[in-house]
Amino acid sequence: MLLSYLKVIIVAVYLILISTFALIFAFVDKSFTLYLKLNRILSSGVLKITGVQLDITGLENIDKKTTYVYVSNHSSQFDIAALQYSIPQKFSMFYKKELSNIPIFGWALWAGPYISIDRKNAEKARRSLEYAKHLMDKENISVLLFAEGTRSRTGEILPFKRGAFHLAATSGHPIIPITISQSQKIMPKGKFNIKRGTIKIHFDKPIDTGEIKNRKDQIDLMETVRNIIIKNHVS
């Protein structure tokens, strides 16, 4: 247990150090290339420090020249590090606006290409989705969303929210379903101790969204993606 808490402290110090450089890079390089490369290095370091392994499958389904909406389940803080390391192209993700207030780490999030979202304000949430669409259409940066909207405590796939599918439908970019398995065993929601283990990540085949025309189509797409993630999930 003491070793686990020591890992948390080391990761926190490491995170502050890397976030400082990320904050600088965000202002120096407006393409965010250096920023996003640094985040991949950060994630690699976190995984090595904690002894967490990744078992990644389905990378052949990703065309690095195509812009995607990545849709994933979510059950651990380690999901973010795992995906930052494993997604083989530039991508952005949504984060709770409250995180922007955390010194250094939150400031780095705010300064980078990541997207702050206010879940309590529908109009601000809509503008966040518009900004995500801008990143995809104008900057060729893919976007990652955790469709459950929160972390599952047990690893069980929770009901999905429609935002990711509205974004995919209005942007016309294909969806890639991502299934993350066993990350809740590494660091469950509400816990701060870190256990060694292996996180399984599977990238499924892209789903075209060009024919999604209305709310019903979006809901049908949402259920299709959720069922794919459930099918690939390993307990």
Tens of pLDDT, residues 203-224: 999 999 988 878 899 999 999 9
- Domains of the chain plus CATH, in order, are 2-232 (3.40.1130.10)
pLDDT-derived band of residue 6, with 50, 70 and 90 as boundaries?
low
Q: Is the pLDDT confidence value at 190 over 80? A: no
Tens of pLDDT, residues 40-65: 888 898 888 888 999 999 999 999 99
pLDDT recorded at residue 4 = 58
Q: What gap in Å lies between CA 71 and CA 165, rounded to an integer?
A: 9
pLDDT recorded at residue 63 = 96
Residue that the structure tokens 């009901």 belong to: 159
Single-letter residue type at 26: A
Q: What are phi and psi of 230, to 5 degrees?
A: -65, -40
Q: Are 104 and 13 in contact (CB under 8 A)?
A: no
Which residues are registered as beta bridge partners of 227? none
3-state secondary structure the chain: CHHHHHHHHHHHHHHHHHHHHHHHHHHHCCCCHHHHHHHHHHHHHHHHHHCEEEEEECHHHCCCCCCCEEEECCCCCHHHHHHHHHCCCCEEEEEEHHHHHCCCHHHHHHHCCCEEECCCCHHHHHHHHHHHHHHHHHHCCEEEEECCCCCCCCCCCCCCCCHHHHHHHHHCCCEEEEEEECHHHCCCCCCCCCCCEEEEEEECCCECCCCCCCHHHHHHHHHHHHHHHHHHCCC
Which residues are registered as beta bridge partners of 144? 70, 93
Tens of pLDDT, residues 142-172: 999 998 877 777 678 888 888 888 888 888 9
Q: Which tokens sit at 24?
A: 């600088």
User: What is the pTM (predicted TM-score) of this model?
Assistant: 0.88
Q: What gap in Å lies between CA 96 and CA 121, rounded to an integer?
A: 12
| 168-177 mean pLDDT | 91
